Amino acid sequence: MTDNYPVKRVIDDKGNLIDERFKEHISERLVKELYYHMARIRAFDRKAINLQRQGRLGTYAPFEGQEAAQVGSALALQADDWVFPTYRDHGATITFGKSMTRTFLYWNGRVEGCVAPANRNIFPPAVPIATQLPHAAGAAWAEKRRGSKNAAIAYFGDGATSEGDFHEGLNFASVFKVPVVFFNQNNGYAISVPIEKQMNSETIAQKSVAYGMPGIRIDGNDCFAVYFETKKAFDYAKGGNGPTLIEAVTWRRGAHTTADDPSKYRSDELGKKIVDPLTRIELFMKTYGYWDEEWIRATSEKLTNEIDRAVEEMETFPPPKVEDVFNHVYAEMPAQLAEQKDAYFAHLGRQ
C-alpha cells in the first residue's frame, strides 16, 4: 500500500531541488517567508520551554522538528479561512496571525490565550483528541452553505486516527463535499505509543479511500512540499470538490510535553536519521543563492526582540479574574453554576 502513497518531496535532505516542476514557483519571497516563519516559531518554542523550566509558564507542548509542516500549511491559507488546531499547533496559529503574547497566555492557563485576532478565524486549541475534526467539517459546511470561497484546515496527530471523531469528521466532510483539509502530522508517536501499535494500516493517507476523498503523503520536513501540496488541496476544496486527507510524515524532536520523558519509550537513534527542517531550507538557500548573511542576522535580531516583548507583555498582563471560571463555560449560565458563582463571591465578601 505504501507504493500507492509515496512520500512526495520537492527538496531532498541536502536541500537539492529534486522536482523541477516546482522550480518556476519557488520565488525569493516564498523562500524567505518560509524561512522567516520557521525560524520565528522555533525561537518561540525554545523560549517557551525555557520559561516553563524557570516556572514562568505552565506545562508546555513543544513542536520542534515540525516547523515545516506547520509553517508550510499555514502559509497556504487565505485570511478568511479557518484553522482548527491541536495543543501542538501554536506554530501554525502564530504563522496564521495569532500573537505570541496570547499564545504564551494560553500556556499559562489564561482564558485570554484562547482569543484569536478579530481578523482571523482560529478555533481554541483542542486538547481532547480529534474533537476538532467534526468542528472543522461543520465550519466548512457553513461556509459552503453561505456560498463563500473560504475553507478550513484541521490539524491532528497520528493518535487521533484511533478516535471516533476522526472517522465522523472525515465521513461528514466527504458526504457533503465540504471545503476542508484534514492535515495529519504523523510524528511516529502518540505520546509513548508508536504508530505500529496505533493502527494496522501502512499509512494514514490510505484511510482516505474509505471516505472517497484524495489522500496524499508528503515529507513533513520539506517546507516546499508541504506548502505546494496544501495549497493544491485548498484549491481543490474551494473548487467545490470536497476534502483532502494529507499525511505529513515528520518527527517530534523533543518530549510530548515538558512533563514527559521520551527516553523511556523511544531511542535517541530514531531521530538522528531525520534531517532538521530548518537545516534543509538553509542548505537549499545556500545552494540556490538565497542565503544572505545580513538578512539572516537582522531576522534573528528581530525575532529575539519580538519574543522578548511578548514575554514582557504576558508577564505584565492584568491578573486573571476569578469570574472567568464561571463566565466562559456556557452561552447562558445554568442556575446551578450561577448559584455557585454567587456563593463564591458571598464567601469572599465575608472574609
User: Which residues are catalytically annotated?
Assistant: 252, 256, 265
65 three-state secondary structure: coil
Question: Which amino acid, one-letter code, is at 42?
Answer: R
**Buried residues in 258-293 as b, exposed as e (16+ CB within 10 A):** bebebeeeeeeeebeebbbbbebbbbbbeebebeee
What is the number of residues in the chain? 351
CA 174 to CA 324: how far, in whole Å? 38
Cell representation of residue 289: 543563492
Distance of CA 44 to the CA centre of its chain: 14
The whole-angstrom separation of Cα 236 and Cα 224 is 18
Look at residue 35 and give its three-state secondary structure: helix
For residue 51, give the H/E element and its range.
Answer: helix 28-53
First to last CA, the chain: 67
Q: CB count, 10 Å around CB of 305?
A: 10
HEC string of 168-234 equals: HHHHHHHHCCCCEEEEEEECCEECCEEHHHHCCCCCCHHHHHHHCCCEEEEECCCHHHHHHHHHHHH
- CB contact at 8 A, 41 and 100: no
